[in-house]
């Protein structure tokens, strides 16, 4: 079958490779070439670079509507979109005969939007997955085609979870391609109850989750506050920001305020207690394993790895020792 691929960043490359393996990719659509790297040299995106190496036709318009005629001329049966980066209007969605399927890194309708992996971790979810859905005029609101689910381990952060979901999404895309080849087109509304007939003639009502949203990460999302963040919230925010921009805290050492990036944090072991009377933002202890224990809103949390401004990653203990910080000092705000 003939397909069009819509995608831009590195995470979308494996999906183009899969689509090209099983279908005839007649057109690849990406975001325009942008300045990248230290020299800000105009460079094609990863998907475009890959597509050109494959010998595929690539278009990179500023506006998708600029290539409407090319999309129609391609004569595609369906499209696949992965992290394309532009909203597709209904008249564009309708060009491929069957429509366009998007691969989204959450279990829709939860975490619709641009940053589903980050917000999934912010929320402390223990399960997530990848959803293939038919694009409509809304923001990730179209009917679900298929999905795959996976557990989130406490040790996972945005980096490792992205890697897992990219792999899982590849398996899902292979399923989608096969379903379409066989004519097994599925469209399940995201927000309506599903009624399934039972053997006794009754109907089982499956309540679908309410939609939640995952907007782009803003600067204010990265600033953590020991006075108002509990240990779980702090830990989940650090995990969710592991791909960057990283979590940051305000430090005040010898009267000087600065921003310190928190690269890794960990929760207090269940068999250990947090001193109840120490002020929030104070260093409780400096551990031999390189961590420091800090008092936060409702408990304590370990800070494992930090990145001071203009410096490389280091253990939190190395940072503390380098600034002659000792237990009891209040340095975090």
Q: How far is residue 265's CA from residue 257's CA, in Å, rounded to a whole number?
A: 21
Show the tokens assigned to 123: 């929320």
> Is the distance from CB of 294 to CB of 303 less than 8 angstroms?
yes
Show the tokens assigned to 214: 């995952």
Show the tokens assigned to 124: 């402390």
Q: How far is residue 66's CA from residue 97's CA, in Å, rounded to a whole number?
A: 20
Whether residue 107 is annotated as binding a ligand: the answer is yes
Whether residue 108 is annotated as binding a ligand: the answer is yes
Give me the phi and psi of 322, to 5 degrees please. Answer: -65, -25
Cβ neighbours of residue 201 closer than 8 Å, sequence gap 6 or more:
none
For strand 24-29 and strand 34-36, is the pairing parallel, antiparallel, or unpaired?
unpaired
Whether residue 71 is annotated as binding a ligand: the answer is no
Q: Which helix (H) or strand (E) holds 234?
A: helix 231-240
Q: How far is residue 128's CA from residue 119's CA, in Å, rounded to a whole number?
A: 11
Bridge partners of residue 7, in order along the sequence: 82
Q: How far is residue 219's CA from residue 246's CA, in Å, rounded to a whole number?
A: 10
Binding-site residues, please?
106-109
Binding-site residues for (6S)-5,6,7,8-tetrahydrofolate, please?
106-109
């Amino acid at each position: 079958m003939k397909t069009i691929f819509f995608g831009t960043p590195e995470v979308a490359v494996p999906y183009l490779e899969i689509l090209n393996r099983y279908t005839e990719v007649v057109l690849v659509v990406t975001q325009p070439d942008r300045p990248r790297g230290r020299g800000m040299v105009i460079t094609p995106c990863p998907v475009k670079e890959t597509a050109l190496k494959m010998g595929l036709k690539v278009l990179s318009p500023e506006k998708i509507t600029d290539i409407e005629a090319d999309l129609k001329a391609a004569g595609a049966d369906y499209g696949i979109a992965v992290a394309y980066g532009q909203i597709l209007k209904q008249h564009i969605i309708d060009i491929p005969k069957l429509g366009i399927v998007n691969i989204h890194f959450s279990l829709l309708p939860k975490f619709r939007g641009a940053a589903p992996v980050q917000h999934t971790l912010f929320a402390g979810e223990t399960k997530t997955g990848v959803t293939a859905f038919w694009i409509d005029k809304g923001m990730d609101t179209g009917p679900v085609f298929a999905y795959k689910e996976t557990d989130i381990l406490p040790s996972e952060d945005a980096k490792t979870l992205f890697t897992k979901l990219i792999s899982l999404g590849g398996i899902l895309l292979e399923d989608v391609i096969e379903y379409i080849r066989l004519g097994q087109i599925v469209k399940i509304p995201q927000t309506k109850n599903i009624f399934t007939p039972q053997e006794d003639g009754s109907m089982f009502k499956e309540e679908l989750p309410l939609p939640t949203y995952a907007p782009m990460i803003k600067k204010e999302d990265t600033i953590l506050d020991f006075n108002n963040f509990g240990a779980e919230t702090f830990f989940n925010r650090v995990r969710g920001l592991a791909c960057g921009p990283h979590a940051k805290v305000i430090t005040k050492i010898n009267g000087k305020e600065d921003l310190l990036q928190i690269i890794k944090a960990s929760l207090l072991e269940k068999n250990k207690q947090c001193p109840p009377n120490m002020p929030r933002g104070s260093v409780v202890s400096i551990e031999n394993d390189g961590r420091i224990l800090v008092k936060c809103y409702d408990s304590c949390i370990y800070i494992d790895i930090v990145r001071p401004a203009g410096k490389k990653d280091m253990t939190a203990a190395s940072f503390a020792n380098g600034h002659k910080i000792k237990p009891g000092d209040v340095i975090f705000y």
